[in-house]
Every structure is written in C-alpha cells, then in structure tokens.
Amino acid sequence: MTQQLILYPLLLQLLLSILLMFFWYRINAQRVISILGSILHLGLTIFVFSFIWNNGTQTLQAGSWEAPFGITFIADSLAITLVLLTAIAGLAVSIFSSSAMIPDRLRFGYFPIFHFLLLGLNGAFLTGDIFNLYVWFEIIIISSFVLITLGGEKAQLEGAVKYFTLNFLASMIFLTAIAVLYGLTGSLNMADLAIKVSEIENRALVQITAVLFLIGFGIKAAVFPLYFWLPASYHTPPSAVSAIFGGLLTKVGVYALIRVFSLIFVGDAFLDEILLVIAILTLFSGGVGALVQNNIKKVFSYLIICHIGYMILGLGMFTEVAIAGAIFYLIHDIIVKTNLFMVSGLIYRIKGSSSMRALGGFYSNYPKLSLLIFIPLFSLVGIPPLSGFWPKISLITASFDTQSYWGLAGIIFASFITLVVIAKLWAEVFWKNPGEIPKRKKFDYFHKMGKYRKLGFVVPIVFLSFVSLYIGFGAENIQILSSRVAQELMDKQLYIDAVFNNAQNPK
Amino acid sequence: MEILFAIIIGVLYAAGIYMILRRSLVKLIIGIILLGNGANLLIFLLGRISEGAPPIIPEESKVFLEAYADPVPQALILTAIVISFGLQSFAIILVKRAHKVVKTDDLDEMNATDEDS
Amino acid sequence: MLTAILLGFLFALFLVFAGKFFKGKLAVVSSIIPLSLFIYFASFIPRISSGEVIRRTYEWVPSFGVNLGFSLDGLSLLFSLMITGIGFLVYVYTSTYLKNHQYLDRFYAYLSVFMGAMLGLVLSDNIISMFVFWELTSISSFFLIGFNNTSEASRKSALTALGITGFGGFSLLAGALLLGSMAGTYSITEMLSMKEALAGHEFYILAVIFIFGAAFTKSAQFPFHFWLPGAMKAPTPVSTYLHSATMVKAGVYLLMRFTPVLGDTNFWNTTLISVGAITMLYSAVHTLFRTDLKGVLAYSTISALGILVFLIGLGSQGAFLAAAVFIIVHALYKATLFLVTGVIDLQSGTRNVTVLAGLRKVMMPVAVAGILAAISSAGIPPSIGFLGKELTYEASTHSTGLVIVIVAAIVLTKILLLYAGFVAGIKPFTGKLPEKFSEVKMPGPLMWVPPLLLAILGIVFGIFPALIESSLVKPVVTALSKDASDIHLALWHGFNTVLILSIITIVVGILLYLFLKPSEKLENRIGKLEPVSPESILKKLTYFFAVFSKFWTNVFQNGYLRNYVTTIVLFLVILVGYIFIGNSRLVIDHTQLSQITAYELAVTIILIGGVFYTVFTRSRIGAVAAMGVVGLAICLLFVFYSAPDLAMTQFSIDTLTVILFVLVLYRLPKYLVLSDYKMRIRDGILSLTFGGLISLLALQVLAEPVNSDIGDFYAKNAYLMAHGKNVVNVILVDFRGTDTLIEISVLAIAAIGVYGLLKLRVKSSDRPN
C-alpha cells in the first residue's frame, strides 16, 4: 500500500487527463473536473508529503523489477516538495484558467493537455531513471508546445517556432548525454549511475558528459547563454499558460540540474566553476534584460531568467548552506512567478494592455487589488520579511564561506535590479495616471464580467499570495524543509541506499 | 566499422545543426529530423554494436546460447524514435501554420516577439 | 515590547480594512498610538538611566539564527522617544494638514508602518531583524515620498530614494551576514565581547565597508546625499518625520550602534571624519544657494547628519556626548522648521523664500516657533542649540590629528547652518508683509501647536539641561561604551576657546544673513555646477547603464533563431572542445573495432551522400526524398547490426514522415537562397566542428570498458521471468513499461496539438499583437 503511495499523484493526473478528454466539448464539465481534480490532487500530495516527511524517502520499483533493472520511482524530500508545489501552483492555475481562458481554447483540449503537463512535471520529479526522465521531459515539452500554440495567433506561432526548436535541441543534447552515459556505464538508473560514474577513470569523458547534461538542462532552465527561447515566447500565450510555464517549466530544468549535479557528477571543481560563472552571468543578463523591457510580461520573463541564477549559484557553491538557499529560493520562486503571470493576466484583462507606458492608475481605481498584487511583487523583490528575502541569507552566507565574491556581487546586483524594476513597475502601473488605451470592441473587460468569473481571476491570486506570505512569515518551517533537502542532497549515499536497500527496510 | 558509424553520426549531427541554422522553415524541420536520427544512432553505437546477433531468444531455448546484441539501447531507441515522430509531425504542422499566418518561409522575418513593445 | 513595535503594523492593517471610516478630524484620534507609545517608552527612563539594559527575545526563525531580539538601552531609548514623540506631533499635525485628502487613511497606514519599522530598527539587537526593519523603513519611505503619485517628479524622487537606500540595504545585509559569520552570532550584544577578534579579522575592513555603505546611503552622506533633497517632494509631515528627525538618522544610529563593536580603529575613525566633514561642508554651502524653503532645510539636514557622522568619527567621550545632545537639538529645531514650513506652504501657497516675508503679522504663534527654532539652530544662548554647539566645538578642539582643519571645518559649517536656520525660521516672518499675503490665514491650532511645543522645548532644555542630562544624554554615552559619570551639562562653560569660537560663529553668521539674501540668481549660479554634481554623474552612469543593458539584451536576444542556435552550439563546442584539448587521452583502440565490409561501406556512402544531397539541393522535394533515403540507409544499418525491430520501426516512421512532409508542405514556396556565402561557410564550420566533436566523443566512449550487467539481466530473465523471447519487446512492455506508457501519451498529446493547430483560430479581437 505505502509502496505505491508515491505513484498516486501520477496516476491521478493521468486519470484526470483521460477523463477530461471524454468531456471534449463540454467545457463547463471540464472546468469543474479540473478544479475538483486539482483540489483532490493537492490533498493527496499533502498526504504523501506528510507521509514522506515522517517516514523518509520512499521508493518504488515499477513492475517490481529490482533496481537497477526496472524503472525506479523515488520520492525524497526534494522530489515530494516539488510535487507539492506543483499541486499548489496547478490548483491555482486550474482555477485561473477556468475564468481566464476563452471557451475556444477550452474546446480544443486545453484542460487535458494542462493535466498532461502536470503529469509530466510530477513524473520528472519522481523518477529515478535517467532515460525515464527524458521521456517525462518529452511529455512536458510536447504538452507545452501544444499549450503555447493553442489559438494559433501570429505572435504565438512565431514564439512557438523558436520555443520548439530550442527545446528540441535541448532534448537532443540530453539524449546525446544519455547515450554517452549509457556507453560509459551501461546503466540508466540514477542511483546506479551515481556509483558507476564515480568509478570511471577517464574523468575527461565524465566532464564532457556532465557538460552535455548541463547544456541540455541549462536550455530548459533558461540560464545564460542558453535562455533565448524564454523571452521570445513566454509572453505570447494566454496568461494562464504563461503562469504554469513561468512557475514550473524552467524549474524542472533547475531540478534536473540539481539532481544530476548533486548525485551523478559531484565534486568536480571545473564543473562547479562553470556553474558559478553561468549563474553569475544569468543573474546579470536577466537583470539587465528586465530593466529595459516595457511589456510587463516580458519584465517578468526576464526576471525568471535572472532568478534562476540564484538557484544555479547555490548549486555551484555546493555547500549545505548554499543548497538550502537554492531550495528555499526554488520553493519561493515557483509560487511567486506563477502568481505574477496570473497577475499580469489580470492586469491585461482590466485594461486591455500589458505595456507599462500605457498602463496606470491601478492604485486609485483598484486599491484592494493593488494591495493584493503588492504581496507577490514585493515578495519577489525580497523585501523582508516576505518570502524572497530568506534564501538570500543562506546564499550570501555561503558566498562568504566559499569566498565567491563574484557570486556575492551577482546576488546583490540581481536583488538591487529586481528592486528597481519592481519599484518602477509599481510607479508606472499603479501610481501614474493611465495613458490613452484605445477601448477594444468585443474584448472581455474585467469590469464587464460576472461575479463568479471575476472570482476566478482573483481567488487563485489570493491563494498564492497567502502561500507566499506563509513562506515569508513561516520561514522557519520552510528553512527546516530546505535544510533537510540540502542534507539529503549533500549525502548522495542516502539516495543510493534508498534505491537499493528498499527491500531491507520496508516502510 | 565503428569508425564509419562515428563518422555517420558526426555527419548527421553536423547536417542537422547546419540545416537548423538556415533561414527556411522547411530546412529547419529537415534539420530536426536529421539531428534526431543522429542521436538515435549514437545511442545504438555507444550501446556497442554487434553483427548478426539480434536479442531474440531462440525458439527452442529459454536463455541465450551465444552472444547477443545489448537489447537496452534498442529499446531506448524505439521509444526515442516514436517520441521524435510525435514531435516532428507536430513541428511539421506548426511550420505549415506558421507559414500560413506569418506568410513567410524566412525565419529572419519572425522576430516580432523579440522586439521591444 | 513586541506589541509596541507591532502596534504600528497592526494599525496599518486595520486601516486597510476600515480605511473608509477614517476621515477628517477623526484622524486625530489615531495619534493616541504614538502618544501611548511615547509614554510607554518614557516609563523606562528611570531604569535605563540607572544603567539597566532591558532585553526581550522572541523566537522567529531559529534555523537562520534570526530572532526578534530587542534591547532597550540609552541609545535606543533616545531614538524611541524621538520616533514616538515627534511621531505623535506629526500625527496630530497631519490630521489638519491633509484634512480632506482622498487617501488620508493610506497616509496614516504608511506612517504607522514606518513608525513600527523605525522602532523595530532601533530596538533590534539581532542584526538580521534590524535589517528587516531597515528595509521596511525604506519601503514605507518609498510610498510616502511617492504619495502624490500622479506627479512624475514625485514618482521619480521616490524611485531615486528607494534605489539609493535600497542599495544601502543590501550593503547592510551583506555586512550583517559577514559579521554574523565572523562572530558566529547575529546578536550585537554578544559581539560586544569580541571587539578585538573582529578588529583583527581578515574581513574586518570589508565588513566595515558594508556597514558604511548602509549608513552613508540612509543618512544621505556625500556622495549619496542627493536623494534627500529629492525626497522633499513628499508631503511636509513626511519630510519632518522621515527625512529630518528619524529615518535619515537611522544611518547615524547604525554607526553609533556599531561603534562599540567595530569602532576605535584607524579606518573607522578616519573614514567617518572625512566623509562627515565633506558632507557637512558641502551641503552647508549648498544651503546658500537655495530659494525653496524645503530645499534649504534638506541641505541643512544633510549637513547636520554630516556633523553627526563626523562626531562619531572623532570617537572620544566628548564627541559622543556632543553627538547625543546634537541629535536632540537637531530633532527639535529641524522638526519645528519643517512643520513651520508646512504651515507657510499650506497657507500662503508658496515655499519660495525670496518672496516670503512679514508673515508674523498673520500667524504670530507660528512665527514664534520659527524664530525660536532658528535661535536653537544658530546655537544662540539660552537655547539647547548653544549647548550642542559648545559641546561640538569642545570635542573638535580636543581631537587628535589636524585639529586646525577639523575646527575650521566645523566652525564654517556652523556659520552656514546659522544662516540656513535664519533663512528658514526668521526670514519668512520678518520684514514687510507683501500685499498678496495679506489674506493669508492663521491655521488651526492642531497645526501650530506642535511646532511651537517643539520650539519651546528647545529653549527649556537649554535653560534646564538637567532635564535631559541623566535621563537621555548620559545613557547614550554609556551605551557607546564610554564612561559617562563625569558628564555635566551646563550652558555656561566659562570663558575659553570654545566660547570665542561660538561668538565668532554667531557674529559672522548673522552678518552673513544680513548681507546675503537668497535669490534665484544665486540658485542659477550653482545650477551651472550641476553637471559635475554626484547626482548628475550618477544619472549619467544610470543612463549609460541603461544603454548598455539595452545593448547587452539585444545582442543576445536579437530575434534571429539561427543566432540563438549558433550561440548555444558554440557554447557547447567551446566547453567540450576545451575539455578535449585539456585532456588529450585520445586513444582509439583499433583492436576492439570490427572490420569494415564492402556492403557496409556502400551503405555508409549512400547515407552520407543522401545527407549531402539533402543539405545542398535546391529542390525541396529532392531534399525530402534524399532524407527518406537517409532514413532507409539507417534501417539497413539497424538490420546489419542485430536490431530487426528497430529497422522495422525506423522504416515505418521514416515513410510516414516523408509522406506527411510531402502532403503538408508541398504547397510552400520554393526554397530561396536566403543566406549569403559567408554565412554558410561560418555555419558550416560550426556544424562540422560540432559533428566532429560528437564523432570523437563516440570513439572515446567506445574505447572505455563495457559494462553490460543490465542488458545481461534482461536477456537472462526475459523469458524466465517475463515470458517473452524478443528481449527488446519485453523491455518495452515490461522492464521499462512506464517509458512506453508515456510515449503513447506523447503521441496522443501531439495529436491533440495538431488538431488544435489545424482547426482553432482565435478571433483576433480578443487579443492584440
């Protein structure tokens, strides 16, 4: 019973996707199923999470084939935390989608694909097999391709071509890396790889393999200089899609990097150095990119890139404190980025524009809403004690410990730029008097919507804002979690034992 | 033969990237397909190739009696081929739509989404 | 104590929900909050002056070592009383000043958040929680400066102020964390005992620089001072409260707080003396050239902050005593002057000091307040200002090093400040009342009582310094780890050098005031220096940085897919190539490789030929056909090398792709030659390098030992345990069945996507672009 526990989130999402396909044209039914399903999913993952929290890492060998022969599923603290965050963000976006997505898109399979995407995310977090990870990645990218093109507008398609090509390239590099790794070790199970790779004598080949993984995952995580697809495409689909992309897609790349570089390719000074350089340049490029944008969705897109840098930096410094910082940031970032893209969708619905120059006057017209939006915006900046602040303690401390002063400079630079960018955004969108925005005919303005539809916009934002507040004010709990994840990651033997000795300690 | 294999793979990767670097949408798709083939062959090669020994257990036996090719890479490639097919067919349709909407085959003219707005 | 700090936040939260009912005069009621806090803190005076330090610690985030540790000693008590006391008067004053303002509730909410944050800042013993409150003061200041948010100037100033102080905030964070890792604790009290160890630490200088970065930006020291005059865009109560009496003194507070921990080193003292001296002189000179009352006050505030930094830098008991007294002096007279300015501005509609005159005739009590404050500011007896100035001179003359320079600097500054005080406090009220101001009315008592009260206190404390001696001043000196037992405050110190300096200051200052009238001409003259001021330099830097940002962003994000791919591949090639070159273990073991047979060679040639044709042909159908040939050749390779299933799959997929290709794309236009020769060469080289590296990599991997445990396991157990003879199939459906399940999902999703792409057209009216 408990063995299969970690599969339930996967099965539930799969079931939801299939169920939703049966209601192809009945979009109201789809809305209800999706929201209820997501609530159920959240409840289930909370249960699984608490189970793992109390009982430690759980593994499952698919088809009962012993590791390393079958496909292993493993839920350690990191994996289950991400599954939980996916469930939280998923629920919010599900509610948001039911209001924000126009019926046309819903009639073309938006919800089933959305749940396939969540399935893929869950699978990627839970799998313990590198080729299986590739397959989950493929399900994620094909779902994201469909979501990003759904609607077929010009901008969407232009963005999608780039998005597709670069992500396909990433997959191919990933596949190449798997080929090399299999050639070197004859294994695909990650725990097994952790053992076998450390035994390989030709370290140069190991480094090359690691670099291939770094680039394959790096493209997906959108780090410098591989992030191009993100600013080219993230602002083109509807906000609900951007929200789930912005919150979770790049984070899968980050997750994969963390997993691979803490488990398989560990303790290589050269690789750590590369990670550090990449991280710092990512912080820099994302920051300056955000500084020059005018479209709020693009601002957020560049901020995604910028903040990926924090996590990679934590990984590059590779001390327990640094990893804990990276994990804390990851937790904070998933929630807040998802929220911000929903916010941008709401702003767009209210005014019919995403241009900072044109927008304005929110504060006087929508004071309560502004106050609500203040929470994710300034959590992002990391105004203490909001959520973005805490991980910086770990990261800065770690940068002193490891004496990576460029890293420190990167953190401060990025924090400063984020502060300036968000303050500017606040001044432009919320304070200044609005510019002339031509009224659009046939546009679903927010103020014309019914009460329930409005709630569909606002409730998920409130929900995630509260989660952000919890992360900020309950930082103690999050830090305990992050430290535990970091401890597990720093000691790869724990992971290996969990995979191989599962039979000995059944629980 | 391994050397020839390696060269073939190199050529496929090179041709794939070269085609992706062209400005035509159609060439982009061709490049993607070539690259996919290259990656599959790489898995195949690195799983160590052996001639005339398919991993099928002989009719009359329950276990292998002689050397056989490593079945794992073959299974992986099978999965990868099918997935690539899914992606490629999607890409082909995407290109068709993009061409129809943007009205050009030239990728260089598809940069509106990167411009400041 | 926690409640005391949180009260402001709670009130703000209350206003968020109940703001609607918060209108007009009702606002005055809210001043109960600062008043009761003032009384609460005042009740600690006896305990603090007897040398006690009151501590409270509340757990918060123990895993970070962050707690809400508060400690109330002389220094924090003085600041707490200022924050709540002046806060009370500002609350009262505001209720009339912004009587009918639409967003009065918001204003009070910000003000309350600020007050809470400021109290938290000065009471925190834990430097991380101090940073938390520090940032909150910056943010609330941002909202208060930008309160008139429809004015562009106001927004800009708010952004500048936030930018500068925010930068300082990160500096504080870095400094706090560095100190934390140096000392192993975030508690300032605990750090006190490690003074020697910290001063000798290799990172001492770095830590001090971070702390300075925070203090200098917050307290508007040169060259970061310019945000403060800009911040005068805020409503006057804000300027009074944040930008003269309390928030800007947070930097000074920080320096004082860290003096017992980090002070008393050469680096600490020299830097503070120099920065303080430059700031006080620079901005005191600036006051000569201002015509806006608030401008004069802003610069004189910066100058006063400079004096404080300078005094902390001197580092003697006398200097700390002078600083403690001067903080009180400055808070009293500067707050008065700002409040008076607010009255003048509101009633007469101008702050231009060149036109203001004779207002005493219409608002006598305000004039009294202004004049008394000016006297205190000038250091004329019997005001407390005189005492402050005497102590400052005393400390300066007893300093070590370049005493003459130091004394000259401070005297000059004081002369100029006397001028500034007179201009702000006396000029508007003396002389003939211009015609246009004859209609100016007296404001309500809630507006003139607060400044008058402050001004009178300035005189009362001057006459009876004993009132503040052991209650406020001595504990501050004690808190700075100096012996305070021999301190005795008195107006009359006897006839000595200091008194002579005082007389010079007053005489020269008054002469200056009589002969130099503020005028626009002067203001324009200093305007010519504007291009070299720190503000303009920073503006230019910001501008260049913006240009550079744009350049950097557009270089990488240039819109051309091929450039993106180039960058990525180049990055890969460089990294992989670098490792290859660095580790030349390039061995290809020929013995392990199998022979090449003729038909294999033939297939290879066909395959490579097919690839080349695909790449170089001008005919699209030709390219697709050649691609089909490549696929078939791969099939053959699979057949040769024991993979019949793969061959089958490859064959069918290849065929399908070609058919799909032809069906879907045959209507596309002809291939165009789009890239030029150079481009193709460049791409060709890059691609070949990439392909070459992959080949090389493949050969390298082949030279490594084989490990086939897993394949063997599958082969062994395929039939025995999974009951299949085709091992590949068994792997797909059983050993690795999950892969296959997902693979099918991928196809399903792709099908839905294709359907959507072909059928769905969103009406463009719903979304632009």
pLDDT tens figures, C67-101: 888 888 888 999 999 999 999 998 888 888 888 77
Structure tokens at C593: 């490789």
Partnered with residue C576 across adjacent β-strands are none
How large is the C-alpha radius of gyration of chain B? Answer: 20
C673 close to A (CB below 8 A): no
* Distances from the Cα of A439 to the Cα of A177, A359, A447, C765, angstroms: 52, 13, 13, 11
* Distances from the Cα of C197 to the Cα of C180, C183, C205, C261, angstroms: 13, 8, 13, 10
Cβ–Cβ contacts within 10 Å for residue A358, how many? 17
User: Which pTM does this prediction carry?
Assistant: 0.92
Mean pLDDT of chain C: 84
C20 close to A (CB below 8 A): no
- The C-alpha atoms of residue C274 and residue C402 are separated, in whole angstroms, by 12
B32 close to C (CB below 8 A): no
Cβ-nearest to C646 among B78, B84, B107: B78
Q: Which residues of B touch C607 (CB under 8 A)?
A: 8, 11
A229 close to C (CB below 8 A): yes
Whether residue C715 and residue B71 make contact (CB cut-off 8 A), yes or no, is: yes
State the first-to-last Cα distance of chain A, in angstroms, to the nearest integer. Answer: 10
pLDDT digits (tens, 9 = 90+) for C284-327: 888 888 888 888 889 999 999 999 999 999 888 888 888 998 99
| Amino acid at position C557, single letter | Q
pLDDT at residue A80, rounded to an integer? 93
pLDDT digits (tens, 9 = 90+) for C126-169: 999 899 999 999 998 898 888 888 888 888 888 888 988 889 99
Q: Which of C143, C564, C570, C693 to mutate to test the interface with A (most CBs of A within 10 A)?
A: C564
Upstream peptide bond of A385 is cis (omega within 30 degrees of 0): yes
Other chains touching A, judged by 3 or more CB pairs under 8 Å: B, C
Q: How many CA atoms lie within 13 A of C57 on its CB side?
A: 14
Other chains touching C, judged by 3 or more CB pairs under 8 Å: A, B
Angle at A46 between CA A140 and CA A98, to 5 degrees: 55
Whether residue C585 and residue A202 make contact (CB cut-off 8 A), yes or no, is: yes
- The C-alpha atoms of residue C731 and residue B75 are separated, in whole angstroms, by 6
Domain presence at residue A505: no
Q: What are phi and psi of C227, to 5 degrees?
A: -70, -25
- The C-alpha atoms of residue C263 and residue C408 are separated, in whole angstroms, by 25
Domain presence at residue A440: yes
- The C-alpha atoms of residue A125 and residue A13 are separated, in whole angstroms, by 14
Whether residue A212 and residue C576 make contact (CB cut-off 8 A), yes or no, is: yes
Low-confidence winner among C335-344, C398-407, C513-522 (lowest mean pLDDT): C513-522
pLDDT at residue A237, rounded to an integer? 87
Instruction: Kindly write down the DSSP assignment for every residue of A432-500, as one continuous string.
Output: SPP------TT---GGGS-HHHHHHHHHHHHHHHHHHHHHHHTHHHHHHHHHHHHHHHH-HHHHHHHHH
Question: Is a pLDDT exceeding 50 seen at residue C765?
Answer: no
Whether residue A226 and residue C742 make contact (CB cut-off 8 A), yes or no, is: no
A408 close to C (CB below 8 A): yes
Number of domains in chain A: 1
Whether residue A205 and residue C704 make contact (CB cut-off 8 A), yes or no, is: yes
Domain presence at residue A222: yes
Give the closest residue to C236 by CA, choosing from C101, C434, C137, C71.
C101
Other chains touching B, judged by 3 or more CB pairs under 8 Å: A, C
Structure tokens at C644: 């019949």
**Buried b vs exposed e over A293-325: b needs ≥16 C-beta within 10 Å?**
bebbbbbbbbbbbbbbbbbbbbbbbbbbbbbbb
Domain presence at residue A506: no
pLDDT digits (tens, 9 = 90+) for C697-750: 888 888 888 777 777 777 777 777 777 777 788 788 778 888 888 888 888 888
Cβ-nearest to B102 among A135, A157, A178: A157
Q: Which residues of B touch A234 (CB under 8 A)?
A: none
Structure tokens at A390: 């805490």
How large is the C-alpha radius of gyration of chain A? Answer: 22
Stretch C174-197: mean pLDDT: 88
Cβ-nearest to C166 among A123, A203, A419: A419
Look at residue C492 and give its three-state secondary structure.
coil
Whether residue A479 and residue C579 make contact (CB cut-off 8 A), yes or no, is: no
Residue of C nearest to A423 (CA): C159
Instruction: Kindly write down the DSSP assignment for every residue of C142-158, as one continuous string.
Output: HHHHTTSTTSHHHHHHH
Provide the H-helix boundaries in C703-736. 709-720, 727-730
pLDDT at residue C389, rounded to an integer? 87
Whether residue C653 and residue B81 make contact (CB cut-off 8 A), yes or no, is: yes
pLDDT digits (tens, 9 = 90+) for C561-581: 888 999 999 999 999 989 888
Q: Which residues of A touch B28 (CB under 8 A)?
A: 161, 165
A291 close to C (CB below 8 A): yes
Q: Which of B12, B25, B97, B113 to mutate to test the interface with A (most CBs of A within 10 A)?
A: B113
Q: Which residues of A touch B107 (CB under 8 A)?
A: 161
- The fraction of chain C above a pLDDT of 70, given in percent, is 95
A275 close to C (CB below 8 A): no
Residue A342 vs residue C522, higher pLDDT: A342
- The C-alpha atoms of residue C739 and residue C750 are separated, in whole angstroms, by 16
Give the closest residue to C682 by CA, choosing from C693, C690, C671.
C690
What domains are defined for chain B? 2-50+71-107 (1.10.287.3510)
Cβ-nearest to A132 among C152, C553, C739: C739
Question: Is a pLDDT exceeding 90 seen at residue C691?
Answer: yes
- The C-alpha atoms of residue C182 and residue C197 are separated, in whole angstroms, by 9
The alpha-carbon gap from A480 to the nearest alpha carbon of chain B, in Å, equals 40
Q: Which residues of C touch B37 (CB under 8 A)?
A: 630-631, 634
pLDDT at residue A505, rounded to an integer? 45
Upstream peptide bond of C46 is cis (omega within 30 degrees of 0): no
Give the closest residue to C477 by CA, choosing from C320, C631, C623.
C320
Domain presence at residue A507: no
- The C-alpha atoms of residue A433 and residue C357 are separated, in whole angstroms, by 37
For residue A84, give its domain range: 3-500
Domain presence at residue A401: yes
Q: Which residues of B touch A149 (CB under 8 A)?
A: 94, 97
CA B71 to mean position of chain CA atoms: 19
Look at residue B24 and give its three-state secondary structure.
strand
The alpha-carbon gap from B49 to the nearest alpha carbon of chain A, in Å, equals 11
Q: How many CA atoms lie within 13 A of C700 on its CB side?
A: 25
Cβ-nearest to A158 among B91, B110, B117: B110
| Amino acid at position A422, single letter | I
Residues 6+ apart with CB under 8 A from C189: C55, C71, C125
- The C-alpha atoms of residue A171 and residue A107 are separated, in whole angstroms, by 30
Whether residue A68 and residue C557 make contact (CB cut-off 8 A), yes or no, is: no
Look at residue C387 and give its three-state secondary structure.
helix
A176 close to B (CB below 8 A): yes
pLDDT at residue A212, rounded to an integer? 94
Residue of B nearest to C722 (CA): B62
Cβ–Cβ contacts within 10 Å for residue C524, how many? 11
Give the closest residue to A456 by CA, choosing from A96, A34, A39, A29.
A96
- The C-alpha atoms of residue A57 and residue A290 are separated, in whole angstroms, by 39
Whether residue C557 and residue A440 make contact (CB cut-off 8 A), yes or no, is: no
Q: Which residues of B touch C643 (CB under 8 A)?
A: 44, 54, 69, 74, 77
Whether residue C594 and residue B1 make contact (CB cut-off 8 A), yes or no, is: yes
Domain presence at residue A483: yes
- The C-alpha atoms of residue A446 and residue C318 are separated, in whole angstroms, by 65
Is residue C223 within 8 A of residue C534, CB to CB? The reply is yes
C736 close to A (CB below 8 A): yes
Is residue A255 within 8 A of residue A124, CB to CB? The reply is yes
- The C-alpha atoms of residue C397 and residue C402 are separated, in whole angstroms, by 10
- The C-alpha atoms of residue C221 and residue C248 are separated, in whole angstroms, by 10
pLDDT at residue C308, rounded to an integer? 92
Tell me the residues of chain B between 38 and 97 that have a Cβ less than 8 Å away from chain C: 38, 40-42, 44-59, 62-64, 68-72, 74-75, 77-79, 81-90, 92-97
Whether residue A179 and residue B72 make contact (CB cut-off 8 A), yes or no, is: no
- The C-alpha atoms of residue A367 and residue A447 are separated, in whole angstroms, by 15
Question: Is a pLDDT exceeding 70 seen at residue C424?
Answer: yes
Whether residue A116 and residue C749 make contact (CB cut-off 8 A), yes or no, is: yes
Question: Is a pLDDT exceeding 80 seen at residue C401?
Answer: no
Provide the H-helix boundaries in C98-126. 104-123
Is residue C84 within 8 A of residue C36, CB to CB? The reply is no
Q: Which one of A74-88, A344-358, C240-254, C608-622 scores highest in mean pLDDT?
A: A74-88
Q: Which residues of B touch C672 (CB under 8 A)?
A: 24, 105-106
Output C24-28 pairs: Cβ under 8 A, ≥24 positions apart. Answer: C24/C95, C24/C99, C24/C100, C24/C104, C25/C95, C25/C99, C27/C91, C27/C94, C27/C95, C27/C104, C27/C108, C28/C91, C28/C92, C28/C95, C28/C446
- The fraction of chain B above a pLDDT of 70, given in percent, is 88
Look at residue C383 and give its three-state secondary structure.
coil
Residue C509 vs residue B63, higher pLDDT: C509
The alpha-carbon gap from C231 to the nearest alpha carbon of chain A, in Å, equals 15
The tens place of each residue's pLDDT in chain A, 507 residues long, gives 467 888 888 999 999 998 988 888 888 888 999 999 999 999 999 999 999 999 888 888 877 777 778 888 999 999 999 999 999 999 999 999 998 888 878 888 889 999 999 999 999 999 999 999 999 999 999 999 999 888 777 888 888 888 999 999 999 999 999 999 998 888 889 999 999 888 888 888 899 999 999 999 999 999 988 988 888 888 888 889 999 998 899 999 999 999 999 999 988 888 999 999 999 999 999 999 998 888 888 999 999 999 999 999 999 999 999 999 999 999 999 999 999 999 999 988 888 888 888 888 888 888 888 889 999 999 999 888 889 899 999 999 999 888 888 999 999 999 999 999 999 998 888 888 877 777 776 777 887 888 888 888 899 999 999 999 999 988 899 999 999 999 999 988 888 888 887 544 443
Cβ-nearest to A292 among C553, C757, C767: C553
* Distances from the Cα of A372 to the Cα of A358, A363, A390, A459, C16, angstroms: 21, 11, 21, 11, 11
Give the closest residue to C216 by CA, choosing from C308, C112, C140.
C308
Find where tokens 């041709």 sit. B15
State the first-to-last Cα distance of chain C, in angstroms, to the nearest integer. Answer: 56
Is residue B3 within 8 A of residue C699, CB to CB? The reply is yes
Partnered with residue A189 across adjacent β-strands are A129
- The C-alpha atoms of residue B108 and residue C560 are separated, in whole angstroms, by 6
Q: Which residues of A touch C17 (CB under 8 A)?
A: none
Domain presence at residue A484: yes
- The C-alpha atoms of residue A250 and residue A308 are separated, in whole angstroms, by 8
- The C-alpha atoms of residue C183 and residue A303 are separated, in whole angstroms, by 34
Q: Which residues of C touch A480 (CB under 8 A)?
A: 63
List of E strands, A169-300:
none
Cβ-nearest to B51 among C561, C642, C686: C642
